[in-house]
Structure 1
C-alpha cells in the first residue's frame, strides 16, 4: 500500500503521519494488489478537514470529514471508507450468489 500525505495551510507532523498510516492499514484487509491512498489535510476557519482518495485495481473511493480535531477527522474518514469498501465488497459477493 502506497500512502501519500499532503498538508495545506497546516504544519506537517510526525504524529499525524503515524496515526494516518496506522489507521490506513485497516483498509488493507479488503484488497489484494496495489493500493494508493492520497491524504490531504487542511484547516479552514478552525475546522480540520481530512480528504482521502483510495485507488487501486478497478477501485476508486473518496471520503472527507470536517471536525474540530484532525485526529477525529482521520477517524471519520477511515470509518466512511471502511463502510464504502464493505458495501462494495458485499454487493459483489451477493451478486454472484444463485437464488
Structure 2
C-alpha cells in the first residue's frame, strides 16, 4: 500500500505526516485490500481542508473535511473514511449461513 501526502499552500510537517500514518493504521486493521491512498492537505482563506482518495480492489472512496484546526480536520477525515470502509466491508461480507446448518422448529 502506498500513502501519498501532498500539500497545497501548506507545508507538510513531520508531525502532520506521522499523525496521518498513525491514524490511518486504524483503517488498515479493518480492511486489508487497500491498494493506494492519496491525502491532499490545503488552506484556503484561513480554512484548513483535507481530502483523501482511497483505492480498493474493486472500488474507490473519496472523503473530505474542513475546519479551523488541521489536526482536528485530519481526525474528522480519518473517522469519515473509517465509516465508509466498514460499510464497504459489510456489503462484501457473506451474510449467509454455511451449508449443513439445520434449524429445528418447535412443534
Give a deviation string over 1:53-78, Cα, whole Å, max 9, x none. 01031131111000101111111111
What TM-score does the superposition give when structure 2 sets the normalisation length? 0.82
Q: Residue 72 in 1 paired to residue 76 in 2? A: no
Q: CA deviation at 1:33?
A: 4.4
Task: List alignment gaps of at least 5 residues for structure 1.
Answer: none
Query: Within 5 Å, which residues of 2 pair with 1:74-89?
Result: 74-89=74-89
Pairs aligned (count): 97
Shift in alpha-carbon separation, 1:34–1:81, aligned structure 2, 3 A = closer
Higher helix share: 1
Task: List alignment gaps of at least 5 residues for structure 2.
Answer: 98-107
Which residue of the partner structure matches residue 96 of structure 2?
A: 97
What TM-score does the superposition give when structure 1 sets the normalisation length? 0.88
Larger Rg: 1 or 2? 2
- RMSD over aligned Cα, in angstroms? 1.6
